[in-house]
């Protein structure tokens, strides 16, 4: 269609001019935008200097008014929105007149002396995430280094986590599952094992020694201790010799005293080799306390001989005898004093009275070679009714017998349930004791003085001596 047209044709010239003007305006528009972008970058780079700043906040104690202001500042700084466009005056670069014409012809609304500066978005604070899970930190708080050391020592000694759970006293009450999880964590978790190792290294040597002294006994150690007989009386020297003979078996923290204490525990629970526990009776019947008490052998209940205790008792008995001798030597002097104060002298015995049992209220006369002491009842009458002296409800109906032998000695035999005290010494049921002049007889709180008719007894002894000579 354009072959038949010439260049000088006015229609063609006008159309070409319009097309040229449009293309020129597009080129100028693109050039103007590029210049504006270049000017904006220069203004951002030169006009606003870069400043290095840290996103961390300085932590310090704040007062109440500062807390309110800081919270307001933080809330205002955290408001999110679109980027802000600020007009900045460019002093170093101004647009030329030709560029002004190009911009006006393009029809853009941008003002030439202004450039766009886009404020960067606020930088969010980075939150460091802990690599360790929550349950690990919780376990680190409950399990102390002393607990870890106790656990390791106990497992090395027994190789049994159930025994560790039953025998070791930790700082907290851990279940068997928690002990297993902690042991496996110490073995296979590098983070926990490293932290526990560092904490155990910071323990004081005295604390470490105290923990090692509480280590459980292994089976090999208990086997050596069980070989010691239950009837023997081992001493610390024997346990020291046992430690020196078997240094590889016993724990380094073992002492002779700790071995003695553990041996006593084994003996108490019948765990020694020469001890045996009686099996429980088979059947539905369960023994009660009285049946079990009848089955107990009295010989086994007797304690073993204690030499130290016997020595102490012998010394105390010697002192008591010495005091008794001194009192016996001073007795005539005190007897004179008492008689002079109370006006009570020796009773006047007749020819038929062998002895007398004088109490606070009543005086009983012995006129036969054998008399019976006790509490009289309607069914049974006795020679000496002690209920006349005072309350005798604790005294048996036949409490005792006083008998005179041919040699002139008096003896008292206890046939009641309660003991009879002669000069402070108890005479148990079924036993007898010699009575001397002025002996104090105490029965269930009632006290009597036994007085002998020495003149009559001396005559009886003389007659007995004559009979033996014949």
Using alpha carbons only, how large is the chain's radius of gyration in Å?
Answer: 57
Q: How far is CA 231 from CA 5, 234, 303, 313, in A?
A: 143, 9, 11, 23
456 CB burial (10 A radius; 0-12, 13-18, 19+):
middle
Q: What are the E-state strand segments in 312-369? A: 355-358, 363-366
Domain boundary among 213, 241, 260: 213
370 and 443 co-located in one domain:
yes
444 and 385 co-located in one domain:
yes
194 and 251 co-located in one domain:
no
CA 181, CA 188: separation in Å to the nearest integer? Answer: 10
Is position 362 within any domain? yes
- Tokens read off for 339: 């008689």
If one counts the domains in the chain, the total is 3
pLDDT tens digits for the chain (470 residues)? 444 444 444 444 444 344 444 555 555 555 454 454 454 445 444 445 556 666 666 666 655 555 555 555 454 445 445 444 444 444 444 444 455 444 444 444 444 444 444 444 555 555 455 454 444 444 456 899 999 999 999 999 999 999 999 999 999 899 999 999 999 999 999 999 999 999 999 999 999 999 999 899 999 999 999 999 888 888 899 999 999 999 999 999 999 999 999 999 998 888 888 888 766 656 556 667 777 777 776 656 666 677 888 889 999 999 999 999 888 877 665 544 444 434 444 556 777 888 888 888 888 888 888 988 888 888 887 888 888 888 888 888 889 999 998 888 899 999 988 899 998 899 998 899 999 988 999 988 888 999 988 888 888 888 888 887 76
444 and 371 co-located in one domain:
yes
Residue 344 near residue 338 (C-beta atoms within 8 A):
yes
Residue 47 near residue 88 (C-beta atoms within 8 A):
yes
Residue 433 near residue 422 (C-beta atoms within 8 A):
yes
Residue 126 near residue 55 (C-beta atoms within 8 A):
yes
Residue 215: DSSP 8-state = P
Is position 417 within any domain? yes
Nearest to 124, CA basis, from 82, 59, 80: 80
- H or E segment at 31? helix 10-42
Is position 117 within any domain? no
204 and 264 co-located in one domain:
no
368 and 461 co-located in one domain:
yes
Nearest to 453, CA basis, from 435, 433, 437: 437
Is position 126 within any domain? no
Where in the sequence is the domain holding 439, given as residue range(s)? 355-467
pTM greater than 0.85: no
Is position 102 within any domain? no
Residue 46: DSSP 8-state = I
259 and 156 co-located in one domain:
no
442 and 371 co-located in one domain:
yes
208 and 245 co-located in one domain:
no
With tokens 């449009």, the residue in question is 22
Domain boundary among 251, 269, 287: 269
262 and 203 co-located in one domain:
no
Is position 184 within any domain? yes
Residue 43: DSSP 8-state = I
190 and 257 co-located in one domain:
no
- Tokens read off for 443: 């029965």
Is position 280 within any domain? no
Chain centroid offset of residue 91 CA = 82
121 CB burial (10 A radius; 0-12, 13-18, 19+):
exposed
With tokens 């933080």, the residue in question is 74
CA 82, CA 125: separation in Å to the nearest integer? Answer: 19
CA 273, CA 414: separation in Å to the nearest integer? Answer: 46
Is position 379 within any domain? yes
242 and 160 co-located in one domain:
no
């Amino acid at each position: 269609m354009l072959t038949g047209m010439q260049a000088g044709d006015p229609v063609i010239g006008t159309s070409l001019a319009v097309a040229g003007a449009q293309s020129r305006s597009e080129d100028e528009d693109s050039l103007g935008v590029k210049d504006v972008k270049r000017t904006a970058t220069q203004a951002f780079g030169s006009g606003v200097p870069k400043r290095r700043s840290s996103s961390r906040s300085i932590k310090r104690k704040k007062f109440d008014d500062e807390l309110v202001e800081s919270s307001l500042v933080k809330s205002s700084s955290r408001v999110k929105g679109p980027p802000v466009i600020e007009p900045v005056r460019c002093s170093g670069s101004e647009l030329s007149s030709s560029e002004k014409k190009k911009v006006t012809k393009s029809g853009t609304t941008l003002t030439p002396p202004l450039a766009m500066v886009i404020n960067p978005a606020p930088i969010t604070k980075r939150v460091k995430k802990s690599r360790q899970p929550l349950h690990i930190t919780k376990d680190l708080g409950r399990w102390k280094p002393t607990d870890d050391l106790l656990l390791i020592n106990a497992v090395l000694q027994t190789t049994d986590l159930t025994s560790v759970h039953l025998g070791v006293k930790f700082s907290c009450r851990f279940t068997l599952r928690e002990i297993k999880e902690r042991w496996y964590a110490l073995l296979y978790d590098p983070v926990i094992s490293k932290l526990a190792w560092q904490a155990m290294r910071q323990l004081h040597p005295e604390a470490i020694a105290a923990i090692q002294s509480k280590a459980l006994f292994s089976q090999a150690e208990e086997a050596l201790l069980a070989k010691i007989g239950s009837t023997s009386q081992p001493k610390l020297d024997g346990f020291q010799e046992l430690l020196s003979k078997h240094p590889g078996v016993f724990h380094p923290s073992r002492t002779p005293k700790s071995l003695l204490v553990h041996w006593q525990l084994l003996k108490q629970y019948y765990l020694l080799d020469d001890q045996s526990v009686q099996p429980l009776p088979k059947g539905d019947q369960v023994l009660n306390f009285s049946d079990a008490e009848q089955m107990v052998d009295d010989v086994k209940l007797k304690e073993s001989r204690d030499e130290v205790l016997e020595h102490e008792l012998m010394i105390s008995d010697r002192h008591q005898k010495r005091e008794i001798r001194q009192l016996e030597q001073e007795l005539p002097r005190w007897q004179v004093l008492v008689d002079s104060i109370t006006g009570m002298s020796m009773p006047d015995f007749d020819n038929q009275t062998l002895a007398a049992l004088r109490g606070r209220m009543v005086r009983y006369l012995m006129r036969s070679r054998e008399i019976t002491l006790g509490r009289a009842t309607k069914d049974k009458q006795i020679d000496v009714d002690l209920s006349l002296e005072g309350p005798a409800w604790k005294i048996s109906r036949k409490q005792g017998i006083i008998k005179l032998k041919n040699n002139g000695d008096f003896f008292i035999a206890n046939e009641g349930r309660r003991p009879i005290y002669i000069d402070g010494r108890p005479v148990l049921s079924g036993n007898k004791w010699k009575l001397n002049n002025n002996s104090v007889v105490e029965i269930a709180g009632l006290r009597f003085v036994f007085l002998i008719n020495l003149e009559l007894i001396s005559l009886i002894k003389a007659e007995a001596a004559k009979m033996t000579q014949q």
